[in-house]
Amino acid sequence: MSWLEDSEGQVEYLGTTRAAQWLADLGFRVSPATLRQWRWKGCGPRFHKLTDGGEAYYLIADLQGYVESRVYYNTGELAVGAGV
Contact between 40 and 83 under an 8 Å Cβ cutoff? The reply is no
Q: Is the pLDDT of residue 23 over 80?
A: yes
What is the percent of the chain where pLDDT is above 70?
A: 80
Q: Is the pLDDT of residue 81 over 50?
A: no
Q: Is the pLDDT of residue 32 over 50?
A: yes
pLDDT for the residue numbered 17: 96
- Kindly report the CA angle at 28 between 75 and 39, in degrees rounded to 5? 85
The model's pTM is 0.75
pLDDT for the residue numbered 58: 96
pLDDT of 45-80, one tens digit each? 999 998 888 899 999 999 999 999 988 888 887 764
